[in-house]
Amino acid sequence: MNRTHKGLANNMSEANLSIKRYPGFFAVTLFCLFLLYAPLLVVMVYSFNDSVSITRWGGISLRWYYDVFNGAETAKFKTAAWNSISIAVLAAISSTTIATLAALGMIRSARWRGKSVSFALINLPLMVPEIVTAVATLIFFSAIGFRTGYASILIAHIVFCIPFAYLPIAARMQGIESIYEQVAMDLYATRAKAFTKILIPLLMPGIISGFLLAFIISLDDFIITNFVKGAGIETLPTAIFGAVKQGIKPNIMAISTLMLLVSVLLVCISYIVGRSGSITPKKE
């Protein structure tokens, strides 16, 4: 992975770009992005709707944005957004960490009794229908006298985020030959060093994918959160579900648009920070 090797690989792939390219893949990607963003366009456009209905257009207005920041429910939504984001970040960090270690134990081990059971256990949160997890967890929490609140939401989120983080990381790890750690260890690096210095950087795309999936799944969860949250604690989904019972009002559209804005801002910041901060050469 020295520079010459990297340069060579780059030159080679540039010379043979056509080999890498598949006709139509770019079109599919554009189509995919179109599908992802088309409904959001509706959200954005209708956040500027002057009417109270989402199906009737009443002219352009900023009143819903004013309402978001100065309405009666401003405080509620602000706390809810903050709870949601902080829980999603914490749950994603914890579950990604747990999942990375678990993937290392699963993928970098030989066959052993109970390995497939362990695989099923890690993916169990995927398989239990959400409503069952919700009811069961609430019954369990109240049975052991665990007070429902921020902490109970966080724990429940960490649990169901684990497979979402695990699967991309494990898939990535399967594609990395163990020769890298082996060489490092042959050169007297400890296991921990081989893991943090060699494997983690190689795993990074998998870790980022797992982290992002865990993050968005936590950010979006309603059913489980609604059951295990304590009185008075709201996350964005529970607050939004609460507000749309009588039909979606444009203020929800405005809040959603603002969330998009926050996400785009975060991405830009991390891109700029990543650009100026990191000079670590990456593989390939």
**Which parts of 19-38 interact with other proteins (CB under 8 A)?**
19-22, 24-26, 28-29, 31-33, 35-38
Question: Looking at 136, 190, 196, 197, which residue binds other proteins (CB under 8 A)?
Answer: 136
User: Are the CB atoms for 160 and 217 separated by under 8 Å?
Assistant: yes
d(C-alpha 125, C-alpha 143), whole Å: 20
| Residues in 144-183 at the binding interface with other proteins, rule: CB under 8 A | 148-151, 154-156, 158-159, 162-164, 166-172, 174-179, 181-182
d(C-alpha 127, C-alpha 119), whole Å: 12
Q: Smallest gap, in angstroms, from Cβ of residue 66 to other proteins?
A: 16
Residue 109 found at the interface with other proteins (CB under 8 A): yes
Dihedral (Cα; 194, 199, 201, 206), 10-degree rounding:
-160
Residue 213 found at the interface with other proteins (CB under 8 A): yes
Residue 187 found at the interface with other proteins (CB under 8 A): no
Question: Looking at 1, 5, 86, 196, which residue binds other proteins (CB under 8 A)?
Answer: 86
- Nearest in space to 107 (alpha carbons), one of 46, 176, 57: 176
Residue 72 found at the interface with other proteins (CB under 8 A): yes
Dihedral (Cα; 42, 48, 51, 54), 10-degree rounding:
20
Residue 79 found at the interface with other proteins (CB under 8 A): yes
Q: Smallest gap, in angstroms, from Cβ of residue 7 to other proteins?
A: 13
Q: Smallest gap, in angstroms, from Cβ of residue 113 to other proteins?
A: 10
Question: Looking at 227, 250, 251, 254, which residue binds other proteins (CB under 8 A)?
Answer: 227
Long-range Cβ contact pairs of 47-56 (< 8 A, separation 24 or more): 47/250, 47/253, 47/254, 47/256, 47/257, 48/250, 49/250, 49/253, 51/250, 52/249, 52/250, 53/247, 54/247, 54/248, 54/249, 54/250, 54/253
- Residue with Cβ nearer other proteins (68 or 162): 162
Q: Which residues pair with 60 in a beta bridge?
A: 49
Distance of CA 105 to the CA centre of its chain: 23
Question: Looking at 62, 115, 190, 196, which residue binds other proteins (CB under 8 A)?
Answer: 115
- Residue with Cβ nearer other proteins (68 or 240): 240
Residue 105 found at the interface with other proteins (CB under 8 A): yes
- What backbone phi and psi angles, to 5 degrees, belong to 60? -85, 140
| Residues in 237-266 at the binding interface with other proteins, rule: CB under 8 A | 237-238, 240-248, 252-253, 256, 259-260, 262-264
Residue 49 found at the interface with other proteins (CB under 8 A): no
